[in-house]
Structure 1
């Protein structure tokens, strides 16, 4: 009987195999189509161009199909979303951020609308720890208006916020390029202005001034950093990384070890590295009712922050040995943090500071403000030879007979800066992120 039914069994098995093969092929095709560019714009979110050149369709599909296999591996990474500038940085962003987990989701040639279409599968599926956005330059080449580009970015941000209302979003301004690349400076500046207006006042978003970082006097890219006036070279990527590292450090992703610096004999620390003990907001009722285009908080009474890790508004924070003046959500916000004590005697003040691109701050000496900024971009000391952009720099102020001699990395900022007889030391916040550390003073006989 077994022999009699064997041909029938083989026939049934063959039929089953034949029947299942088209299903497998169909599933594979469907899986591939999932990562293909839609044939038309109909029903797609956003507005403006989606590229459909053959080379781009193949790249878009191949990149996304590959990423789909890494979803589990890339969970909770800091995700970089962008186009060829982002893609060209490499899978691990050139190793620029140490052990911080990163995922590169840049596709060469992509537009803001294309990124919106692929956002769910390429970015949100990773449950990012944070998202870094750089986008918009290719839209310009395709003739999109700045308003259309900014509209798509708003939609992307809305989806990111909907996915996770606490996830940090770092929005990089569109890099400069050239009119010869169909990316004129005036259009890029307009896009960046619309970006800043769109996120103004949003504490979830940090805007990084990567336009001023790279632009020449005409607002275009420089050959030494962008050989083709569009894509950064190794030097350009190093500058971008340096602009982002302080932001990641403030978020707690980098530089998480405590500072092991020891104060020199004769000096005393004004900042313990752990909290804001000894610092305060001074009452400034005289500002109440004054109109200004820049945010300028008013405090009716002194607010002392002894034992607090951040100021009452969160602007000033103690983070792993650094006193951080965070990027204001308003774009610019002027306020000062003061020591609770005054310094009537002659003294030497030493500190180190680090500024994000074009950041603006200041160090108050009893009362007058010594400008402390990203000097080469923000001034006023643009000719310094020893200043290190987006790295730590040392400021030394020696006060004798109510006159201060001020240096940065050994170069003179002010030879004879006149001061009042007494007053506290203060740190100002204006635009961008500023960080201070190793703040110490030595009273002179």
Structure 2
């Protein structure tokens, strides 16, 4: 466990140096402020309460907008931020997950890394960020569910990329890690993919983000996994 904390400290120091040299506002880049007020106003879980946090990108953020009842009825917290990569999620993991004292975190990360939102990145580093979040959760007695990256044939904002095979590879890495470490893995991919290895048009308008019907499929899968983990 010491190695993971050393890795995260080194990652943050190197990023700060890079950000300073490029005149990047790290607070805006990580977007710590997005949920700061909500987090500050959130009480600690009541006795016996099993709080669940969903951490992710726009797919997670939009989930609570398109089907808000899923989060309200179940008492889940949505901590998705549009456009974010796994590196950004890792940096804000303490503020948006650990400090909220959840029993469980559901992580969906990797889409925007493959879209190169923060520049090109090798899959092994994306995977490493996800593993680091798992280890941080475990160090704080938080249970974890990892999710597959949803299928994408083409990113509307990065049409020159061909993400389909990288998504398959990253999902394979995540699934193998989950199998080897007894971590629940929610595999949305096979129920949402079409013949071109993209997100089926029945479940999306833009080929990246699910519509209501797509989220309902995801909900059926993740609800079962959450119930099993928390029972």
Preserved contact between residue 55 and residue 79 of structure 2 (Cα < 8 Å): yes
How many residues align? The count is 204
Paired position in structure 1 for 2:207: 229
The separation in 1 between residues aligned to 2:181 and 2:29, in whole angstroms, is 37
Partner of 1:79, secondary structure, is: strand
TM-score of the superposed pair, with normalisation by structure 1 = 0.42
How far 1:113 sits from its partner (Å)? 0.7
TM-score of the superposed pair, with normalisation by structure 2 = 0.77
**Aligned to 2:51, which of 61, 77, 82?**
77
1:154 equivalent in alignment to 2:134: no
Partner of 2:131, secondary structure, is: helix
Partner of 2:92, secondary structure, is: helix
Preserved contact between residue 66 and residue 211 of structure 2 (Cα < 8 Å): no
Give 4+ residue runs of structure 1 displaced > 6 Å after superposition. none
1:67 equivalent in alignment to 2:38: yes
Structure 2 portions without partners, runs of 5+: 1-10, 17-22
- Deviation string 1:294-335 (CA, Å, 9 cap, x unpaired) is xxxxxxxxxxxxxxxxxxxxxxxxxxxxxxxxxxxxxxxxxx
Change (3 A) 1:183 1:108: farther
| Mapping 1:289-300, distance limit 5 Å | none
**Aligned to 1:87, which of 50, 55, 61?**
61
Paired position in structure 2 for 1:372: none
Paired position in structure 1 for 2:102: 128
The separation in 1 between residues aligned to 2:150 and 2:96, in whole angstroms, is 23
**Aligned to 1:111, which of 85, 100, 103?**
85
Preserved contact between residue 172 and residue 208 of structure 1 (Cα < 8 Å): yes
Partner of 1:177, secondary structure, is: coil
The separation in 2 between residues aligned to 1:80 and 1:93, in whole angstroms, is 14
Paired position in structure 1 for 2:168: 189
The separation in 1 between residues aligned to 2:75 and 2:98, in whole angstroms, is 16
| Mapping 1:23-422, distance limit 5 Å | 42-44=13-15, 57=28, 60-72=31-43, 76-90=50-64, 94-96=68-70, 99-142=73-116, 143-164=120-141, 167-181=142-156, 182=161, 184-203=163-182, 205-252=183-230
Change (3 A) 1:195 1:251: closer
Superposition RMSD on alpha carbons, in Å?
2.9
Structure 1 portions without partners, runs of 5+: 1-39, 46-51, 254-445
- Deviation string 1:180-211 (CA, Å, 9 cap, x unpaired) is 443521000000011122232323x2011111
The separation in 2 between residues aligned to 1:106 and 1:160, in whole angstroms, is 17
How far 1:147 sits from its partner (Å)? 1.2
Partner of 1:230, secondary structure, is: coil
Partner of 1:174, secondary structure, is: coil
The separation in 2 between residues aligned to 1:135 and 1:154, in whole angstroms, is 11
**Between structures 1 and 2, the one with greater helix share:** 2
Paired position in structure 2 for 1:416: none
Preserved contact between residue 141 and residue 183 of structure 1 (Cα < 8 Å): no
**Between structures 1 and 2, the one with greater strand share:** 1
Partner of 1:131, secondary structure, is: strand
Change (3 A) 1:201 1:138: same
The separation in 2 between residues aligned to 1:145 and 1:83, in whole angstroms, is 19
- Structure number with greater Rg is 1
The separation in 2 between residues aligned to 1:92 and 1:127, in whole angstroms, is 26
The separation in 1 between residues aligned to 2:97 and 2:72, in whole angstroms, is 21
Partner of 1:237, secondary structure, is: helix
